[in-house]
Amino acid sequence: MKVLQFPLARITIGFIVGILAAFYLKPELTIVFGSLFVSLIILAISYFVQKNTFTNTVYFGIGTFIVSFFIGITTQIIHTDYYKKSNYINESSFFDKPHHLSVVIREKIKSTTSNDRYIALINQIDNKTTSGRILLNVRKDSLTLPFETGTFLHITGTAYKNKPPNNPNQFDYSAYLQKKQIYAQLYSDKESISIGSEYKKDIWYYSSKLRTTIIHNLQKSNFNKRELNVAIALILGQKQDISPEIIQDYQYAGAIHILSVSGLHIGFILLFITFVLKPIPNTRKGSLLKLSLILFSLCSFALIAGLATSVVRSVTMFSFVAIGYHLRRSVNIYHTILVSIFLILLFQPSFLFDVGFQLSYIALFFIIWFQPLLASIWTPKTKAFGYMWGILTVSFAAQIGTLPLSIYYFHQFPGLFFITNLVIIPLLSVLMILGVLVMVLAAFNFIPLFLSKPLEWGIYLLNRIINSIASFEQFIIRDIPFNIYLMASCYLLILASIIWFKKPSYPKLIIVLIAVTTIQVSYVMTHHDIKNENEWVVFNLKKNTMITTRNGENVVLYSNDSILKTAKSNSVLKSYLIANFSTIKSEEKIKNTAFFKDNKILILDSLGTYPKDIKPDIILITQSPRINIDRMLHLLKPRIVVADASNFKTLQKHWKSSCEKQKIPFHAVAEKGYFKLN
């Protein structure tokens, strides 16, 4: 691939590998900075040797890669909060008792049914200067409006470290928050919060204020709420208030990407701005004025949209395109992509772990690299067919490029994505231009009816189209088992196949066949590993008991009638089955005894009866039985006691205390998460 021959490609790859190494390995600071210093000296020596001998040596290229690798590690460390001594994660007593916290609201995120949620920056803990991000959960109050960005709050409460998933193979929200430098959550209600009289007036404050003004003015103009929420997502990148039903429709139709402002949206905006500035003459001063206005407009839009990852990436890339055009130089799009990746990650390396960032850049790369090959298959004779063919080839290129990663993260595939894009992209281009005009005018509290109503009707039409396509659920392939090894081998096959199609040759065909073999080997090894696995799991299901025994790919489900009837739609069980490439072999009601390998398990239900001579290795308590726990432990002498989430919390506290007295481990599923034997 010629892309990899660019020096900037090697530097960017080394930089990214360095960020990954720092995130997963967490190296010592002294080792990192010492290695960076040594690598810089080696690079300088290799540069002067190459310069004086007039020969290109491989050592300079290797040295450049190593330096960029250590710069990546250093960048990640500098931007990682837990390396800072002032961060609250380094306060040993922070999680042990209530504290008085002074925080400032940075961003409001999607609320839950019971709480408004915010990302807040900690300024002080008990009058001690501290730093760090925390997830603030405030119980909803119908009489009080949500807090604005920049609001100072004084809160007395206890912070809780992020917990791992409650059930096996669920989405790890703790790891997700950690990648965003959020290591704890705080729960409070508005009666326990004192609101400061001033605001922290920084770029985030003014961005949020402008966005709030636009939304408020649109609401006053009687813009339909359902369509307004979608308009705010399309234009401003804020989708917190979109209903779950609409989100699901866009997912099923393969159009969820249009609700996150990305390159497609910024491209439309750039074309519109360029069109508006066309009357300015292309003189030296005129061209400089055009460039300044374009860059100012793009940066302003990024601020209004809250500096979301996809917006920052797209604005950065198109800014380089605009600068290259102004300098009258042919813009190499691969260079533009690499520079935008490098600069974005240099200032915010955590973006690398953002799913949207990954999907956006992969889609963009395949559109640039693979779409011309698809477009060359057929040359339409009319402009209308040419336009439709262009949309189809772009859609297919992006979908093929993102397919393995999408299945890895979401385990589903929208089969009608090409129809969705063919229909909505022409409509979306009109909505974006119209929407930007309406939003700009709304900032000045001037919303002409002849602009706002067509925007509202257009979004209504867009939602209806998406809903109609999403209703063909038979074309949505769901619950696809997929792991990282299959994903990597699929990408190897896709890349090898495209390289071979571009310029067929026998060696390239051999690589394609090797890639096919790699997929087969990955699949066989995955199933071989799974077939040799056996485990017994007690799930964390509120007010219910659910147990599975898995022998390879076969799962036996034990539960009550209500769970057994809805087993196929149970999201917790579904995640477990998909991750383990498994299916339910049989469904049975829970019995009082179970056996797994060498373990004898006694299961106590609400009756609380048990034989005196069973001598179990494990006791599982369910459905809050009234038992004399001390006498039972003394008589049966189990190795461990497990209480699932169907028990009352007050009883669990009593059982835990009794177990501690007799030095028997106690596992409360509702507190510690699922229990597993393997």
Min mean pLDDT across 14-23, 259-268, 435-444 is at 259-268
Q: And the tokens for 580?
A: 């383990």
Q: And the tokens for 181?
A: 């430098």
User: Do 407 and 438 share a domain, yes or no?
Assistant: no
Query: Residues 548-606: pLDDT tens digits?
Result: 999 999 999 999 877 888 887 888 999 999 999 999 999 999 988 999 988 999 999 98
Residue 148 pLDDT greater than 80, yes or no? yes
Min mean pLDDT across 268-272, 325-329, 484-488, 537-541 is at 325-329
Provide the residue range defining the domain that includes 522.
484-529
How many domains does one find in the chain? 8
Q: Which of 234, 233, 253, 252 lies closest to 242, judged by CA?
A: 233
In a domain, 108, yes or no: yes
In a domain, 70, yes or no: yes
Domain-ending residue, one of 60, 78, 96: 78
Percent of the chain with pLDDT over 70: 96
Chain centre to alpha carbon of residue 582: 25
In a domain, 620, yes or no: yes
Q: And the tokens for 182?
A: 């959020």
Q: What is the pLDDT of residue 407?
A: 93
Percent of the chain with pLDDT over 90: 35
Residue in the structure block whose two tokens are 């408004």? 116
Q: Facing residues of 546 across strands?
A: 559
CA–CA separation, 61 vs 7, rounded Å?
8
Q: And the tokens for 28?
A: 């010592």
The confidence band for 2, taking pLDDT boundaries of 50, 70 and 90, is low
CA–CA separation, 581 vs 554, rounded Å?
9
Q: What is the pLDDT of residue 535?
A: 95
Query: Residues 329-371: pLDDT tens digits?
Result: 655 777 778 888 888 899 889 889 888 888 888 888 898 889 8
CA–CA separation, 549 vs 535, rounded Å?
6
Contact 259, 305 (CB under 8 A): no
CA–CA separation, 603 vs 605, rounded Å?
6
Contact 99, 125 (CB under 8 A): yes
In a domain, 74, yes or no: yes
Q: What is the pLDDT of residue 3?
A: 57
CA–CA separation, 309 vs 321, rounded Å?
19
Contact 327, 307 (CB under 8 A): no
CA–CA separation, 248 vs 581, rounded Å?
24
User: Do 180 and 114 share a domain, yes or no?
Assistant: yes
CA–CA separation, 517 vs 513, rounded Å?
6
User: Do 499 and 475 share a domain, yes or no?
Assistant: no
In a domain, 83, yes or no: no
User: Do 187 and 109 share a domain, yes or no?
Assistant: yes
Taken as a whole, the chain contains a residue count of: 678
Q: What is the pLDDT of residue 420?
A: 85
Mean pLDDT value across residues 450-474: 90
In a domain, 205, yes or no: no
Q: And the tokens for 647?
A: 């028990």
User: Do 442 and 341 share a domain, yes or no?
Assistant: no
- Counting DSSP H helices and E strands in the chain, the numbers are 22, 20
Mean pLDDT value across residues 79-89: 86
- Please tell me whether residue 542 adopts helix, strand or coil conformation: coil
Residue 85 pLDDT greater than 70, yes or no? yes
User: Do 96 and 186 share a domain, yes or no?
Assistant: yes
Mean pLDDT value across residues 616-630: 92
User: Do 243 and 283 share a domain, yes or no?
Assistant: no
Domain-ending residue, one of 11, 43, 78: 78
In a domain, 208, yes or no: no
User: Do 16 and 35 share a domain, yes or no?
Assistant: yes
Domain-ending residue, one of 548, 563, 588: 588
In a domain, 213, yes or no: no
Query: Residues 385-421: pLDDT tens digits?
Result: 888 888 888 888 888 999 999 999 989 888 888 888 8
Query: Residues 29-66: pLDDT tens digits?
Result: 888 888 888 888 888 887 777 777 656 666 777 888 88
Q: Which of 217, 252, 310, 242 lies closest to 459, judged by CA?
A: 242
CA–CA separation, 102 vs 194, rounded Å?
10
User: Do 126 and 189 share a domain, yes or no?
Assistant: yes
Chain centre to alpha carbon of residue 413: 17
Residue 280 pLDDT greater than 70, yes or no? yes
Residue in the structure block whose two tokens are 């007050």? 650
Q: Which of 321, 315, 323, 367 lies closest to 344, judged by CA?
A: 315
User: Do 365 and 331 share a domain, yes or no?
Assistant: no
CA–CA separation, 627 vs 608, rounded Å?
6
User: Do 572 and 609 share a domain, yes or no?
Assistant: no
User: Do 627 and 658 share a domain, yes or no?
Assistant: yes
